[in-house]
Amino acid sequence: MRERITYVLKLGDSLPPSELTIDASSISGPEVTAVREDRLTIALNELPAELQTLVTGAQGLHIRWVGTTSSEAISPLLARLPPGFHVFFTPGKDDAVSQKLCPTLKDVFGGVSCSTPGESFTSLPKDRFSHSAALQYFQQLDSLSPFVQYAKDQLCGPTDAFCAARLDSLSTASSLDISYDKVQEVLKVTAAWPYQSQQVHAATLPGLRTEVGILSSDKFKTLEPHEIGISGLLTVLGQNKEPSPTMFSFPARHREAESTFSAQFLTPTGLHPTLQLRLASGTGPAPLFAAAADDGDEPACTPYAYLTLPRTIFADKYQLSDPLFLASKNLTALRYTTQPVDLEAPEYVMSQWGSSVLVQLSPPPPSGENGGGEWTAELPFHLRYLAPAQGGYAGISVPYPAVFWACAPEAGVKFPPNPFEKDNLGYDGLFDQRTVFWHVEPRPVDGGPLVNTVQVPVLDLDKAGWVNAGTAAAVLVGFAWVAWKLLGVYSRGGGAKVEADKKKQ
Amino acid sequence: MAKPPKTGGRTAPTQAASTTPSLLASFFSCPLPLYLSAAFLRVVFLLYGLWQDANSPVKYTDIDYLVFTDASRFVSRGQSPYERETYRYTPILAWLLLPTAHVTGNPLLDVALFSSGKVLFAAADLLAGWLLERVLAKSMDAAAARKFAAIWLLNPMVATISTRGSSEGLLGVLVMALLSTVVAKRVTLAGVLLGFSVHFKIYPFIYAPAIVWWMDRERMSGPKASTKKPQAATSLVSQALAFVTPTRLQLAITSLATFLSLNLAMFAVYGPPFLHQTYLHHITRIDHRHNFSPYNTQLYLASASASSALPGAATTTDTPSIRIESIAFLPQLLLSCVLIPLAMAKKDLPAAMLAQTFAFVAFNKVCTSQYLLWYMVLLPLYLPRSSFLQNPRLGITALVLWVAAQGLWLQQGYGLEFLGRSVFVPGLWAASLGFFGVNCWILGVIISDVGRRG
d(CA A84, CA A141): 5
Q: What are the helix (H) ranges across A67-191?
A: 95-109, 117-120, 145-155, 161-168
Q: Give the gap in angstroms from C-alpha B302 to the nearest C-alpha of chain A.
A: 9
- pTM of structure: 0.85
Portion 226-255 of B in contact with A at CB < 8 A: 226-227, 230
Task: Give residues with Cβ within 8 angstroms of A72, minimum separation 6.
Answer: A194, A195, A441
Report yes or no: B359 and B335 within 8 Å, Cβ to Cβ: yes
pLDDT for A35 equals 93
Give CA separation, A240 vs A15, A200, A220, A245, in Å.
Answer: 17, 17, 26, 12
Q: Is the dihedral of CA B357, B358, B363, B366 positive or negative?
A: positive
Q: How confident is the model at residue B222 (pLDDT cuts 50, 70, 90)?
A: low
Chain A residues whose beta carbon lies within 8 Å of the beta carbon of residue B421: 457
d(CA A195, CA A74): 7
pLDDT for A311 equals 93
pLDDT for A371 equals 66
Q: Give the gap in angstroms from C-alpha A110 to the nearest C-alpha of chain B.
A: 21
pLDDT for A130 equals 59
Q: Give the gap in angstroms from C-alpha B156 to the nearest C-alpha of chain A.
A: 27
Chain A residues whose beta carbon lies within 8 Å of the beta carbon of residue B230: 501, 504-505
The residue extents of the domains of chain A are 2-252, 255-457, 462-504
In this prediction, residues B302-311 reach a mean pLDDT of: 72
Q: Do A458 and B422 touch (CB under 8 A)?
A: yes
Task: Give residues with Cβ within 8 angstroms of A361, minimum separation 6.
Answer: A277, A279, A302, A303, A304, A305, A330, A331, A332, A377, A403
Q: Do B440 and A388 touch (CB under 8 A)?
A: no
Work out the percent of chain B whose per-residue pLDDT is above 70: 87
The torsion angles phi and psi of A136, rounded to 5 degrees, stand at: -130, 145
Q: Do A456 and B440 touch (CB under 8 A)?
A: no
Report yes or no: A1 and A45 within 8 Å, Cβ to Cβ: no
Nearest by CB to A464, from B301, B307, B419: name it: B301
Is the CB of residue B422 less than 8 Å away from at least one CB of chain A?
Answer: yes
Q: Is the dihedral of CA B281, B286, B288, B292 positive or negative?
A: positive
Q: Give the gap in angstroms from C-alpha A374 to the nearest C-alpha of chain B.
A: 23
Is the CB of residue B322 less than 8 Å away from at least one CB of chain A?
Answer: no
The per-residue pLDDT for range B249-302, each reduced to its tens digit, is 888 999 999 999 999 998 888 888 888 888 887 777 666 688 899 998 988 888
d(CA B255, CA B208): 9
Residue of B nearest to A465 (CA): B317
Q: Give the gap in angstroms from C-alpha A135 to the nearest C-alpha of chain B.
A: 22
Nearest by CB to B440, from A343, A393, A478: name it: A478
The torsion angles phi and psi of A313, rounded to 5 degrees, stand at: -140, 145
Q: Give the gap in angstroms from C-alpha B139 to the nearest C-alpha of chain A.
A: 21
Q: Do B298 and A468 touch (CB under 8 A)?
A: yes
Report yes or no: A415 and A375 within 8 Å, Cβ to Cβ: no
pLDDT for B176 equals 94
Q: Do A346 and B416 touch (CB under 8 A)?
A: no
d(CA B314, CA B177): 49
pLDDT for B5 equals 39
Q: How confident is the model at residue B207 (pLDDT cuts 50, 70, 90)?
A: very high
Chain B residues whose beta carbon lies within 8 Å of the beta carbon of residue A492: 451, 454
Q: Do B448 and A470 touch (CB under 8 A)?
A: no
Mean pLDDT of chain B: 84
Q: Do B420 and A269 touch (CB under 8 A)?
A: yes
In this prediction, residues B68-89 reach a mean pLDDT of: 90
Residue of A nearest to B67 (CA): A318
pLDDT for A72 equals 85
Portion 56-95 of B in contact with A at CB < 8 A: 56-57, 59, 63, 66, 70, 85-86
Chain A residues whose beta carbon lies within 8 Å of the beta carbon of residue B56: 324
pLDDT at B1 over 70: no
Higher per-residue pLDDT: B15 or B188: B188
Portion 148-187 of B in contact with A at CB < 8 A: none
pLDDT at B317 over 60: no
Chain B residues whose beta carbon lies within 8 Å of the beta carbon of residue A471: 294-295, 297-298, 324, 429, 433
pLDDT for A124 equals 87
pLDDT for A54 equals 84
pLDDT for A131 equals 65
Residue of A nearest to B358 (CA): A482
- Number of Cβ pairs closer than 8 Å across A and B? 193
d(CA A189, CA A177): 6
Q: Of B360, B393, B354, nearest to B377 (Cα)?
A: B354
Q: Do A324 and B57 touch (CB under 8 A)?
A: yes
Q: Do B324 and A471 touch (CB under 8 A)?
A: yes
Higher per-residue pLDDT: A63 or B29: A63
Report yes or no: A450 and A442 within 8 Å, Cβ to Cβ: yes
Chain A residues whose beta carbon lies within 8 Å of the beta carbon of residue B63: 318
Residues lower than pLDDT 50 in chain A:
495-505
